[in-house]
């Protein structure tokens, strides 16, 4: 036991010392600024919005955002990982980088246009969506903003400071706008407009800064180049689409099975949990390019660092999970206020997510993908998505918001267990093997 504790302490010291000397730490710091902009800053507005809009109004916007999140996922495709990986590998080739950037932009714009066509069809055919058409079209502005913003370029080049500033400034402006013009339940459309306007403005700023910072050379996209980018991101897109089946679309699924008030209870709780989970992702995003490089150079080294990161992220995730579960009543009372009591149980059910996602992220993103296990990675996530949908169809009508939360929790447990099992079968388990001795 003492030896294990001593070994763990050595691993933690190695992580901290190496991190402080690496670009990963700098990029993680920048990504934490982005996470503050994406999660913590909006949480400043949550206590105000849930009270002003009420569960029904807040739930209506959340339902619309959940639907448009599918379109954002479609536009993102697999570029967040495939383009990042390609740019990271070709970092010294300016021509190759410029060609990749313009081909990816062209592909994303085609997806954005196709998504708008699909939305028009859905609004025409589905009565519930037809009744909220104005809200959905306003929210689609966030999809356009995502199309423009080349986060994948900044990640691949490991230059995250600029977009941290852009995101933070735009989010703060949106917050100011919310407190200035949102005063009653009927203002939910204005709230949606502010979020979309902020996304578009951030996207435009991200493009301008990218041209200046990376000296991009204008390159005419080719159909062949666009197709190559799509082919390169296809498997990763399937994995992201699978994730959406038990993450971004939950409010939409719940809205179809219940009503917007229940969606309000669930979405308010989910937003709080996601803000906590979001505290883990900057380290993961910043480490991904480095793990991709290590996996191509030394299996033993990648697995050694995978083990260290597993303990590090798992430890932080455990602390956050315990805090969420124990503090749920107080969090709801302070952040959401009266009328949101059903959200307490939702938070407690979802409280295990920081631990589960912290661990599964290392197993999946940092190990399975760099070692070329894309198809198995996708199969696991797709299976988890199916589990979530089946359970949601059964539990949501019976337990409403809590039932949806139970479906998500079960899916996340499956993901973590399946990834660890898969890595073990492929002799890539970071917790066992010769690499633990430090020998190649």
The residues, any chain, with a CB within 8 Å of residue 24's CB and separated by 6 or more, are 286, 287, 290
Q: Is the Cβ–Cβ distance between 317 and 359 less than 8 Å?
A: yes
| Per-residue pLDDT of the chain in tens (440 residues, 90 and over written 9) | 444 445 445 554 554 455 445 555 656 665 666 666 666 666 688 889 999 999 989 999 999 999 999 999 999 998 888 888 889 888 878 888 999 999 999 999 999 999 999 999 999 999 999 999 999 999 999 999 999 999 999 888 877 777 778 888 888 899 999 999 999 999 999 999 999 999 999 999 999 999 999 988 888 899 999 999 998 888 778 877 777 777 778 898 899 899 999 999 999 999 899 888 988 877 777 777 777 778 777 788 888 888 888 899 999 999 999 999 999 999 999 999 989 999 999 999 999 999 999 999 989 888 888 888 888 988 998 899 899 999 999 999 999 999 999 999 999 999 999 999 999 998 888 887 555 544 44
Indicate the number of domains in the chain. 1
Q: Using N-to-C axis directions, what is the helix angle for 79-89 and 223-244, rounded to 10°?
A: 130
State the Cα–Cα distance between residues 380 and 283, nearest whole angstrom. 23
DSSP-assigned states of every residue in 160-178 = -HHHHHHHHHHHHHHHHHH
The predicted pLDDT at position 428 comes to 85
The predicted pLDDT at position 234 comes to 86
The predicted pLDDT at position 394 comes to 95
The predicted pLDDT at position 39 comes to 61
Show the domain range for 6. 2-437
The predicted pLDDT at position 439 comes to 46
The predicted pLDDT at position 176 comes to 93
CA contacts within 13 A on the Cβ side of 350: 28
The predicted pLDDT at position 13 comes to 53
The predicted pLDDT at position 22 comes to 54
The predicted pLDDT at position 367 comes to 87
The predicted pLDDT at position 438 comes to 45
In three-state secondary structure terms, 374 is: helix
> To which residue do tokens 């739930």 refer?
59
């Amino acid at each position: 036991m003492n030896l294990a504790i001593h070994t763990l302490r050595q691993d933690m010291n190695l992580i901290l010392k190496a991190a402080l000397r690496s670009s990963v730490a700098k990029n993680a710091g920048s990504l934490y600024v982005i996470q503050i902009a994406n999660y913590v800053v909006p949480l400043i507005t949550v206590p105000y919005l849930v009270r002003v809009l009420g569960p029904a109004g807040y739930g209506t916007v959340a339902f619309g955002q959940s639907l448009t999140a599918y379109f954002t996922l479609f536009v993102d495709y697999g570029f967040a990982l495939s383009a990042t990986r390609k740019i990271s590998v070709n970092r010294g080739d300016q021509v190759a980088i410029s060609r990749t950037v313009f081909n990816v932009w062209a592909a994303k714009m085609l997806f954005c246009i196709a998504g708008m066509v699909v939305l028009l069809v859905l609004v025409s055919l589905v009565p519930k969506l037809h009744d909220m058409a104005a809200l959905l079209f306003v929210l689609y502005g966030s999809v356009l903003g995502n199309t423009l913003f080349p986060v994948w370029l900044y990640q691949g080049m490991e230059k995250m400071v600029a977009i941290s500033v852009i995101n933070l400034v735009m989010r703060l402006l949106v917050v100011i706008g919310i407190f200035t013009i949102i005063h009653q339940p009927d203002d939910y459309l204005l709230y949606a407009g502010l979020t979309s306007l902020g996304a578009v403005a951030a996207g435009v700023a991200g493009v301008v800064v990218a041209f200046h910072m990376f000296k991009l050379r204008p390159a005419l996209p080719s159909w062949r180049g666009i197709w190559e980018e799509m082919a390169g991101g296809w498997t990763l897109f399937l994995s992201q689409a699978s994730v959406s089946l038990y993450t971004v679309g939950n409010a939409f699924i719940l809205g179809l099975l219940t009503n917007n008030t229940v969606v309000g209870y669930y979405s308010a709780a989910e937003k709080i949990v996601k803000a906590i989970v979001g505290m883990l992702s900057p380290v993961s995003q910043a480490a991904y390019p480095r793990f991709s490089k290590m996996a191509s150079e030394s299996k033993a080294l990648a697995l050694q660092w995978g083990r260290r990161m597993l303990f590090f992220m798992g430890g932080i995730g455990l602390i956050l999970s315990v805090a969420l579960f124990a503090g749920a009543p107080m969090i709801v009372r302070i952040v959401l206020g009266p009328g949101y009591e059903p959200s307490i149980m939702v938070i407690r059910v979802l409280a295990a997510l920081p631990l589960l996602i912290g661990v599964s992220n290392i197993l999946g993103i940092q190990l399975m993908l760099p070692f070329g296990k894309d198809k198995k990675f996708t199969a696991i996530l797709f299976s988890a998505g199916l589990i979530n949908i089946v359970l949601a169809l059964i539990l949501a009508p019976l337990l409403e918001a809590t039932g949806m939360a139970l479906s998500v929790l079960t899916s996340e447990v499956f993901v973590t267990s399946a990834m660890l099992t898969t890595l073990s079968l492929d002799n890539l388990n970071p917790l066992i093997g010769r690499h633990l001795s430090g020998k190649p």
